[in-house]
Amino acid sequence: MAVADATCKFLDVDVGAEGGALDGGTWSNWSLHDALEENRAGVPQHKPLPNDDHPVPYHFVGDDAFALRTWMMKPFSHRSQVLRERIYSYRLSRARGVVENAFGILYQRFRCFLTTMHQHPDTINLITMCACVLQEIRKNVI
């Protein structure tokens, strides 16, 4: 599980959860979740959007598996959405696509993720963390 910014840069990564674990459970066991709940995560202060002077808070974007919080945006329930809610949910899903793109870039750069890895789980965790760091280093150098 990872948090990525608008440029597909990984900001925080949590590896080692079982593949069948649900996102909501993995998220609630992540140290970032606890830091956000206790307001010690270092989230930047509210800033205005371009061409505006009204400060807007930073938010995390998740899917239905995540609990709604003041700092977490998630789509409306699929049941009986009005047009306004469908548009919101669609745009939110586009924003969530950024982290999917970050993983896509990772998979293309480090092709070992495209097949079964036969190493010990601790080694796979280390490989994954190293690849996330190297992806950012390479992006900043090029």
pLDDT band at 130 (very low <50, low <70, confident <90, very high): very high
Measured in residues, the chain has a length of 142
What tens digit of pLDDT does each residue of 41-51 get? Answer: 888 899 998 99
What tens digit of pLDDT does each residue of 31-73 get? Answer: 898 899 998 988 889 999 899 999 999 999 988 888 888 889 9
| Dist CA 103 CA 110 (whole Å) | 10
Taking the domains of the chain in order of start, what are their residue ranges? 2-141
Residue with tokens 């609630």: 28
Query: Does the structure show a pLDDT above 80 at 132?
Result: yes
Q: Tell me, what amino acid is at 16?
A: G
Structure tokens given for 46: 């509210």
Degrees to nearest 5, angle at CA 95 with 92 and 100: 125
Q: Is the dihedral of CA 98, 104, 110, 112 positive or negative?
A: positive
